[in-house]
Amino acid sequence: MLAHKDETYQIIGAAMEVHKTLGCGFTEKVYQDALEKEFLLEGIPFVRETSMQILYKGEMLPSVFMPDFVCYDKIIVELKAVEELSGLHESQAINYAHVANIKVALLINFGAESLEYKRLFNPNGRK
């Protein structure tokens, strides 16, 4: 059974609507702005670019990371606008989920002719 199945389907559906409307070729920020509007239209709860700190050996690092969205307070949504997703992009989304203590991360790429998305799982996440 997939964790947060219904919520991830809603998020992917919103991303599909954005890609259908805009196509590929814009910057990540444009897709982020459009997806925020689509989340509002669809009633998907989200926080955009919230700062999160990384704990390293018992101490918080001064650097922060900001996932593109956290939806439903339990799904990391990381956007890309690249020709092809790589393992590095997947690692980034999983690391964000790990630091945020979240089980599910969605990696969504608007840069290809067809929308690409990957549902990634953090086995140590509690949310």
Average pLDDT for 40-47: 97
**d(C-alpha 4, C-alpha 9), whole Å:** 9
Q: What is the pLDDT at residue 65?
A: 86
Q: Are 93 and 65 in contact (CB under 8 A)?
A: no
Q: Is the pLDDT of residue 127 over 90?
A: no
Average pLDDT for 94-115: 93
Alpha-helical runs (H) found in the chain: 5-22, 28-42, 87-100
Q: What is the pLDDT at residue 7?
A: 96
Q: What is the pLDDT at residue 19?
A: 98
**d(C-alpha 78, C-alpha 87), whole Å:** 14
pTM across the whole model: 0.91
Q: Is the pLDDT of residue 63 over 90?
A: no
Average pLDDT for 23-32: 96
